[in-house]
Structure 1
Amino acid sequence: MAVAETQGIEPVDLAAGSEIDEYILDDGVFKGGMSTLRTATNSVDKKVMIKFFVQETSYQRELSSLYSLQKAESRNVISLIDYFEAEEEDEWFPQSVIVLELGTVSLQHWAHGKRPVSEVYLKSILLDILGGLESMYTAGLVHCDLKPGNIMQFTCPGREQGIWKLIDFDCACKYSAI
């Protein structure tokens, strides 16, 4: 990491080209309520999304949810690639981050102005969403913030329309059967 370039700077203000481990930040910046998202490229030229968390509890909740969902081997839930814990002794890296696969568009943005949508295509979207929800059920999780903005399209070999996946698990919670 380029310590001198990042010390005391918020994730949203980090310059494109700044390094975090093997990841080089790109220009893409998205600010949410619980986190800041930055697009980046890894050492083998793969595009990824780095999520910087404001609160450690949100980080722990999302990381725990993603671990549980990886065990369920769902193709309809965003994939965790890497993570870094906040290091109190290092002022330049005060936030925990996770590295995720990079999607192409949210369902919210995709659907805006997409009329009409064929029943066949709509059915494939709904089946992908249901696949993600089934994986959450299997893992004993409830999303707690499911909305079109938290459903993302990803490229998928062999599927022209891509694949839809659930994202953003920092509000997810475990449930127990009654």
Structure 2
Amino acid sequence: MVTIELEGEAKERYAIIRSYSYGEELNVLKVYELTKQKTNYVIKKYNTKEGFERESQMLKELNGAKNITQMVDYYPSQSIIVCECALYDLETFLSHQNDSQRHEEKGSIIKDIVSGLSELKKHNIVHTELAPKNIMYFQEKDGYTENWKLIDFDTACFAGSYYAKIKMNYSAPEVIRAHEEGIKIKADFTMDMFTFGLVLYFLEKGIFFA
């Protein structure tokens, strides 16, 4: 595993608990703030400017939005974004639930996801990579409030702009077709609605698309 170290102001403010590698473009660090050691954060350190600039732009636009992960700091010179730290993702959570438990939880989960999607539409943003792994459970700073939030906006874009053609198992048919044909298509809210439908199926049946 590649050793990741913080530099400059980020190093003065945060200490690394653990690091994770996500391919060639991104490293994720779990950190704590040196002056508030009980508060953990996630640092996303991009190896390319494009991913950093896209996600930081989207999270600035979504500042204060309900059921959307919040950016608490960023360091452009290092391509670093600091975000809230989640407890676990939806895929992991549901893998530990039986049918009865899953059906008991799904109402509140759906409510939070819909709230997050409503915020995206309000800000004219299409997520493009909605999936159980990008829906995470957070505990707020008060220690009591807990909710599900949408995360990972490094491929998000404004509706009507040309989509980055990210292909995954939760992609809408037009996205898969564009990827296979090597053509550009414009981002549209229906892309997120299609993947939301697959997430609902996952919640109902407990079957996810690997």
TM-score, scaled relative to structure 1? 0.78
Q: Secondary structure at the match of 2:36?
A: coil
What is aligned with 1:98? Answer: 81
Structure 1 segments unaligned to the other structure (5+ residues)? 1-9, 87-94
Structure 2 segments unaligned to the other structure (5+ residues)? 161-187, 189-210
What is aligned with 1:142? Answer: 126
What is aligned with 1:60? Answer: 53
Change in CA separation of 1:158 and 1:24 when aligned onto 2, cut-off 3 Å: closer
Greater fraction strand: 1
Q: Does residue 71 of structure 2 align to residue 85 of structure 1?
A: no
Greater fraction helix: 2
Query: CA separation in 1, counterparts of 2:58 and 2:42?
Result: 17
Q: Does residue 43 of structure 2 align to residue 38 of structure 1?
A: no
What is aligned with 1:130? Answer: 114
Please identify runs of 4+ aligned residues in structure 1 that moved more than 6 A: none
Q: 1:48 aligns with which of 41, 48, 55?
A: 41
Change in CA separation of 1:125 and 1:61 when aligned onto 2, cut-off 3 Å: same
Query: Offset at 1:121?
Result: 1.8
TM-score, scaled relative to structure 2? 0.67
Query: CA separation in 1, counterparts of 2:150 and 2:121?
Result: 13
Q: Does residue 102 of structure 2 align to residue 109 of structure 1?
A: no
Query: Offset at 1:75?
Result: 2.5
Q: Does residue 138 of structure 2 align to residue 154 of structure 1?
A: yes
Q: Secondary structure at the match of 1:122?
A: helix
Q: Calculate percent identity across the aligned residue pairs.
A: 27
Query: CA separation in 2, counterparts of 1:124 and 1:96?
Result: 35
Deviations 1:96-151 (A, max 9, x none): 10000100001111111311225342110011011111111111100011111111
What letter is aligned with 1:24? A
Q: Does residue 59 of structure 2 align to residue 75 of structure 1?
A: no
Alignment: residue pair count: 153
Query: Offset at 1:39?
Result: 0.5
Query: CA separation in 1, counterparts of 2:75 and 2:123?
Result: 23
RMSD over equivalenced CA pairs, Å: 2.3
Contact 1:74 / 1:131 at 8 angstroms: preserved in 2? no
